[in-house]
Amino acid sequence: MIQGLSHMTFITADLDRMEQVFTHIFDAKKIYDSGDETFSLSEERFFLIGDIWIAIMKGDPLTDKTYNHIAFKIDDADFEDYLNRIHELGLELREGRARVQGEGQSIYFYDDDNHMFELHTGTLEERLERYKKTV
């Protein structure tokens, strides 16, 4: 039986740059750095974002940008702050999709390895409630 999410791993060409993205934008706390040792496939670092375990490993970046992404929940009041953090690191913003009022706001952006992230202000419950109104 699945008990929940264990961790997520992202492959990156530059561990330091990816660490900067995680610590500056997501307030991630670094909890492990393999240094030159490799217990897995390559050098790796572990972070906590909230209580989510995120791993980054050195490797070849994604060749294409897609809509595959991970979304983190933020408060409406923090929307502009997070947008500024993304701008400060010079990351590429992706235009958001069309939305109906009441499903929350999103910021989509790519890191230097073509991973897409979303910062979203809504919840699943709010979205489902809003979608019921249009049916």
DSSP assignment of 75-89 equals: -GGGHHHHHHHHHHT
Q: Which residues does 2 contact at the CB level (< 8 Å), separation at least 6?
A: none
Catalytic residue among 37, 43, 44, 118: 44
Residue 118 is among the residues annotated as catalytic for this protein: no
The backbone torsions φ and ψ at residue 132, rounded to the nearest 5 degrees and listed phi first, read -60, -35
CA distance 50 to 31: 12
Please give the positions annotated as active site.
Answer: 44
